[in-house]
Amino acid sequence: MTFPRHGGRFVGTRKKRTVKEVAFGIAERLGNAAQRDRGNARRATAARVAGDLALVAVTRRGDAALEAERSLVRLSRAEYFAEHRAVAAEAPEANDYFLADLPNISCKRDRHTLEHPFFSLSKRRDTAARKYSYGNVEIELIPSAVGMPTIWDADVLLYCVSQIAAAGNRGQAVSRRLRFQVRDYLLATGRRDGGEYYRSFRLALDRLRGVSVKTNIASGGVVERQGFGLIDSWRIVERSQEDGRMIAIEIVLSEWLYRAAVGNEVLTLSRDYFKLGALERVLYGLARKHLGEQAVWRIGLVKLFEKSGSQGSLKEFRRKIRRLGRLIDYTLHYEPHTDQVTFRRHPAAAVNS
């Protein structure tokens, strides 16, 4: 078997080697070439990207790809995406991912996780399994040892769904395998470009990957008959040479979530959503889902408590509801005599799809 190398030449193997050994050898040679050619920035960049794509073509997952990242040259955002597109055009078989690099797009989230309690409202590690039933909807969540995904972890899914929806609206090809720069995600979701946020991001990926979800909620008209994670997998595709910080990552969304994204089972959220606390995010999402074109939505406090996924007491939940008033585009009011909560669209709010 032969493998392509930079410059269009091919390397024949005299003795049988493992895929991992071949992949690492390609990346090592291309990394060395990039270092020698630092004076020629474009050639060094092309070598770096070619090495990355060669690794993707030879080994989709595995230690070789992770080891090779240490020899890669850091790129600017523009260089990274521009060169990936240029090299991918010459090696389409290696380009089965979607470059999620669209700036200034609308915030979108799937309707299903917006309406039902898929996420913990606490930042504390929560490893308790949960079952939720509401009407005909059933959900079972079994977290991994790192804990239940939190409402803040849901921002990762929001970012991915937003990119897919925006690209689909522009007629661009998409995939449930996405690549993007971590800094873009952090800034787009109201975070800062700092070490603490990179660590939190990595933990979020582990929680989203580790949770086992079983539900009868259909997405794209299909009901999953087996357990699944909210993301199938993730990996780092580029690190900083200075401090080892992740620069670019690849995420594979679950089929269930991807079908919702491409099937337009999404809702547009305000950018102020990222300024809200945990319970406020859930209540805003419920109001966004249930109000739609109507001006008023009423729900009993007990039912709202169940739909929120709150793990505190009903008494504490009622106390928090009493203190809330405005939620961006909506207002809520607790009615003690009926033990109901009334949500209303604020007069100045626009109706988004």
| One-character DSSP codes across 290-302 | HHTT-SEEEEEHH
- Same-domain status, 237 and 281: no
**Distance, CA of 327 to CA of 318 (rounded, Å):** 17
pTM over 0.95: no
Task: State the residue range of the domain holding 186.
Answer: 97-269
**Distance, CA of 32 to CA of 27 (rounded, Å):** 8
- Same-domain status, 114 and 22: no
Q: How confident is the model at residue 73 (pLDDT cuts 50, 70, 90)?
A: very low
Residue ending a domain, among 93, 114, 148, is: 93
pLDDT of residue 232: 97
- Same-domain status, 60 and 182: no
- Same-domain status, 300 and 345: yes
Beta-carbon contacts of 353 under 8 Å, excluding residues fewer than 6 positions away, are 267, 268
Q: Once rounded to an integer, what is the mean pLDDT over residues 118-138?
A: 94
- Same-domain status, 84 and 210: no
- Same-domain status, 86 and 138: no
- The total domain count for the chain is 3
- Same-domain status, 164 and 251: yes
Q: Once rounded to an integer, what is the mean pLDDT over residues 229-244?
A: 93
**Distance, CA of 25 to CA of 32 (rounded, Å):** 11
How, if at all, do strands 98-99 and 177-181 pair? parallel
Quick check: 319 pLDDT over 80? yes
Residue ending a domain, among 93, 111, 131, is: 93
Q: Which residue has the higher pLDDT, 126 or 348?
A: 126
Q: How confident is the model at residue 15 (pLDDT cuts 50, 70, 90)?
A: very low
DSSP 103: -
Q: Are 154 and 107 in contact (CB under 8 A)?
A: no
**Distance, CA of 34 to CA of 40 (rounded, Å):** 9
Beta strands in 186-300 (DSSP E): 212-215, 231-239, 246-253, 266-269, 296-300
- Same-domain status, 106 and 252: yes
- Same-domain status, 153 and 16: no
- Same-domain status, 38 and 14: yes
Residue ending a domain, among 43, 59, 93, is: 93
**Distance, CA of 350 to CA of 353 (rounded, Å):** 10
- Same-domain status, 258 and 293: no
pLDDT of residue 347: 75
- Same-domain status, 134 and 235: yes
DSSP 350: -
